[in-house]
């Protein structure tokens, strides 16, 4: 019987998933890997991590990658995105290269290429070598230089196996979580440092774009941004303004310099008003201007619901973006109760139209979207997790993506978070996202119903 396909995607559309090295590889056996910020933080404060599970094992991809890679084809992957651990390749962040790491990544990349799956390799997914963190991390411009060297080493060592690169994953997250809200190490509350970290990261990204093009002119490089659209509570001008400013901080702070080569004027003014202007040089700004990304990676999980702030903060109190907006719980919104995140499929369409209209219709790929679920074992029937909720989640988002493409969006692929269930920062293994189940007790891996469905989706290029 021929299956009816209601939503067909453009020819060559990429289907796959994303993961990150710190969340999948684990650090045992070390094989010369240096400590990163997560290893260190766990060693001094394990209580912060769900069930005291730290990054050392993660999903043990380092030991099992040869077997794990076989699941890629079985779940319909035509593309796979993961990252390189900087501290695995350069244990001290700079200097000597760990040859074991080179061998590991080369072998992994070679095997994935042999499966006919396109690689998309990210240089940085929230993990900085601790040796650099100790010297001020991203607050220090020496880290920018070190990152540039690291990027060049990656292009040299792996450029024959990888032609599609990413400079950073969601760079706003370490800025906010590390320097404003204390969810990531170094757990500071320091708006001035936050702005400098954001700037230094953007500069590092532009330097990596430059180095990539110099090393291999035909390679493509991107940045992955979590472009949560901000929806105002009402049409009241104060709410509208709050939403605009939320987007300035959350999205445009990296989107504009990455794609257009410069910061939005309104953001520059706001930062100046609060005496937070970072240390910049005309040469650095020129590097950003000249080295914009070739395409964009977009992660989308949930929107921002924004209202004008209830009160205006005391001008003496430290600056936070949220001086300008409050989050609010929109009545009746659809939720993923496990992760506590709103599900709003239409967000994808709105992001797509924004990129089309305001960013020269830049080519982009949906690099993360996914549904984290706690206690998935209870959906196990005859040895397989029946995650119909995940299939519905993906379908809902794909319908909006399909509509956006029909309306001219330049989206070239959809990557789910994630491939095999993996470790997740402070939440460890609380919420599962994978197309493939990882049983923590037996280490057995089993394709979920969504994994089989994803294969059909990819084979049919639609559903
Ligand atoms: C993305 C990150 O923002 O969200 C991933 O790039 C992360 O690293 C994913 O795992 C899901 O979030 P969480 O916190 O539920 O793991």
Select from 18, 23, 171, 368 the residue to mutate for testing ligand 1; criterion: most ligand atoms less than 8 Å from CB.
368
State which ligand 1 atom lies nearest to the alpha carbon of 426.
14
Determine the Cα–Cα distance for residues 197 and 204; give it in Å rounded to an integer.
10
Among 60, 170, 247, 284, the one annotated catalytic: 170
Ligand 1 in contact with 421 (CB < 6 A)? no
**Residue 318: which pLDDT band, with cuts at 50, 70 and 90?**
low
Q: Average the pLDDT over 308-336 and give the result.
A: 79
State which ligand 1 atom lies nearest to the alpha carbon of 422.
10
Determine the Cα–Cα distance for residues 185 and 162; give it in Å rounded to an integer.
31
Nearest CA to ligand 1 atom 5: 424
Determine the Cα–Cα distance for residues 135 and 186; give it in Å rounded to an integer.
12
From the CA of 170, how far away is ligand 1's center (Å)?
Answer: 10
Among 60, 284, 368, 400, the one annotated catalytic: 368
pTM above 0.80, yes or no: yes
In the three-class reduction of DSSP (H, G, I as helix; E, B as strand; rest coil), residue 151 is classed as helix
Ligand 1 in contact with 78 (CB < 6 A)? no
From the CA of 351, how far away is ligand 1's center (Å)?
Answer: 19
Q: Average the pLDDT over 338-362 and give the result.
A: 97
Known catalytic residue at 345: no
Percent of residues, the chain, with pLDDT higher than 70: 97
Ligand 1 in contact with 434 (CB < 6 A)? no
Q: At what angle do helices 449-460 and 388-406 cross, to 10 degrees?
A: 20
> Measured between alpha carbons, how far apart are the two ends of the chain, in Å?
15
Q: Average the pLDDT over 347-369 and give the result.
A: 98
Determine the Cα–Cα distance for residues 79 and 285; give it in Å rounded to an integer.
34
Q: Which helix (H) or strand (E) holds 101?
A: helix 99-114
Q: Which helix (H) or strand (E) holds 445?
A: strand 445-447
Ligand 1 in contact with 170 (CB < 6 A)? yes
Select from 297, 372, 423 the residue to mutate for testing ligand 1; criterion: most ligand atoms less than 8 Å from CB.
372
Q: What is the mean pLDDT of the chain?
A: 96
Q: How crowded is the C-beta side of 397, counted as CA atoms within 13 Å?
A: 27
Determine the Cα–Cα distance for residues 288 and 122; give it in Å rounded to an integer.
19
User: Which residue matches tokens 């049919």?
Assistant: 460
Ligand 1 in contact with 339 (CB < 6 A)? yes
State which ligand 1 atom lies nearest to the alpha carbon of 170.
6
Candidates 373, 195, 401, 394; CA nearest to 298 is: 401
**Residue 314: which pLDDT band, with cuts at 50, 70 and 90?**
low
Tens of pLDDT along 131-142?
999 999 999 999
In the three-class reduction of DSSP (H, G, I as helix; E, B as strand; rest coil), residue 446 is classed as strand
Ligand 1 in contact with 20 (CB < 6 A)? yes
Known catalytic residue at 170: yes
From the CA of 38, how far away is ligand 1's center (Å)?
Answer: 15
Determine the Cα–Cα distance for residues 274 and 346; give it in Å rounded to an integer.
34
Ligand 1 in contact with 174 (CB < 6 A)? no
Asked whether the predicted pLDDT for residue 317 surpasses 80, the reply is no
User: Which residue matches tokens 């994994």?
Assistant: 451
Tens of pLDDT along 438-448?
999 999 999 99
Phi, psi of 224 (to 5 degrees): -105, 120
Ligand 1 in contact with 368 (CB < 6 A)? yes
Phi, psi of 105 (to 5 degrees): -65, -40
Ligand 1 in contact with 424 (CB < 6 A)? yes
Pairing assessment for the beta strands 364-368 and 295-299 based on DSSP bridges: parallel
Q: Which domains occur in the chain, in start order?
A: 14-460 (3.20.20.80)
Determine the Cα–Cα distance for residues 385 and 379; give it in Å rounded to an integer.
5
**Residue 457: which pLDDT band, with cuts at 50, 70 and 90?**
very high
User: Where do the DSSP E strands lie in 195-282?
Assistant: 220-226, 230-232
DSSP output for 257-311: IIIISS--HHHHHHHHHTT------HHHHHHHHH---SEEEEE-S--EEEE--SS
Tens of pLDDT along 151-192?
999 999 999 999 999 999 999 999 999 999 999 999 999 999
pLDDT of amino acid 129: 97
Ligand 1 in contact with 299 (CB < 6 A)? yes
Ligand 1 in contact with 143 (CB < 6 A)? no
Determine the Cα–Cα distance for residues 145 and 151; give it in Å rounded to an integer.
10
Nearest CA to ligand 1 atom 13: 424
Tens of pLDDT along 72-95?
999 999 999 999 999 999 999 999
Tens of pLDDT along 30-70?
899 999 999 999 999 999 999 999 999 999 999 999 999 99
In this structure, what token pair is assigned to residue 401?
A: 């993506």
**Residue 120: which pLDDT band, with cuts at 50, 70 and 90?**
very high
From the CA of 47, how far away is ligand 1's center (Å)?
Answer: 20
From the CA of 424, how far away is ligand 1's center (Å)?
Answer: 7
From the CA of 124, how far away is ligand 1's center (Å)?
Answer: 14
From the CA of 299, how far away is ligand 1's center (Å)?
Answer: 10
Candidates 369, 374, 375; CA nearest to 431 is: 374
Determine the Cα–Cα distance for residues 261 and 263; give it in Å rounded to an integer.
7
Determine the Cα–Cα distance for residues 154 and 181; give it in Å rounded to an integer.
32
Tens of pLDDT along 222-269?
999 999 999 999 999 999 999 999 999 999 999 999 999 999 999 999
Pairing assessment for the beta strands 164-169 and 79-83 based on DSSP bridges: unpaired
């Amino acid at each position: 019987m021929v299956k009816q396909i209601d939503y067909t995607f453009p020819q060559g559309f990429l289907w796959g998933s994303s993961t990150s090295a710190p969340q999948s590889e684990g650090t045992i056996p070390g094989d010369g890997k240096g400590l990163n910020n997560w290893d260190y933080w766990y060693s001094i404060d394990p209580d912060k991590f769900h069930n005291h599970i730290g990054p050392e094992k993660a999903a043990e991809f380092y030991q099992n990658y040869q077997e794990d890679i076989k699941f890629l084809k079985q779940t319909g992957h035509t593309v796979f995105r993961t990252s390189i651990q900087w501290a695995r390749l350069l244990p001290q962040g700079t200097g000597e290269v760990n040859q074991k790491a080179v061998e590991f990544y080369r072998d992994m990349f070679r095997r994935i290429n042999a499966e006919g799956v396109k690689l998309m390799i990210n240089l940085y997914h929230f993990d900085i070598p601790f040796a650099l963190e100790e010297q001020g991390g991203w607050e220090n411009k020496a880290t920018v230089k070190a990152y540039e060297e690291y990027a060049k080493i990656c292009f040299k060592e792996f450029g024959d196996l990888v032609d599609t690169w990413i400079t950073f994953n969601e760079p706003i997250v370490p800025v906010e979580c590390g320097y404003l809200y204390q969810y990531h190490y170094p757990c500071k509350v320091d708006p001035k440092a936050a702005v400098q970290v954001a700037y230094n990261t953007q500069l590092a990204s532009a330097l990596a774009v430059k180095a990539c093009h110099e090393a291999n002119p035909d390679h493509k490089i991107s940045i992955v941004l979590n472009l949560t659209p901000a929806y105002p509570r009402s049409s009241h001008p104060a709410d509208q303004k709050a939403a605009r400013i939320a987007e300035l901080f959350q999205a445009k702070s990296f989107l504009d310099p990455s794609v257009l080569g410069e910061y939005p004027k309104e953001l520059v003014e706001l930062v100046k008003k609060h005496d937070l202007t970072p240390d910049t040089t005309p040469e650095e700004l020129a590097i950003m201007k000249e080295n914009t990304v070739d395409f964009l990676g977009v992660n989308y999980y949930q929107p921002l619901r924004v209202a004008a702030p209830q009160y205006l903060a005391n001008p003496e109190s430290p600056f936070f973006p949220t001086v300008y907006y409050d989050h609010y719980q929109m009545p009746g919104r659809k939720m993923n109760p496990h992760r506590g995140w709103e599900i709003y499929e239409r967000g994808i369409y709105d992001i797509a139209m924004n990129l089309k209209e305001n960013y020269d219709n830049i080519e982009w790929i949906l690099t993360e979207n996914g549904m984290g679920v706690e206690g998935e074992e209870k959906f196990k029937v005859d040895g397989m997790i029946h995650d119909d909720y995940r299939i519905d989640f993906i379908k809902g988002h794909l319908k909006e993506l399909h509509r956006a493409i029909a309306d001219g969006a330049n989206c070239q692929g959809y990557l789910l978070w994630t491939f095999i269930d993996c470790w997740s920062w402070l939440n460890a293994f609380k919420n599962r996202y994978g197309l493939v189940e990882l049983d923590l007790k037996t280490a057995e891996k089993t394709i979920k119903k969504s994994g089989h469905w994803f294969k059909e989706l990819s084979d049919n290029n639609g559903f």
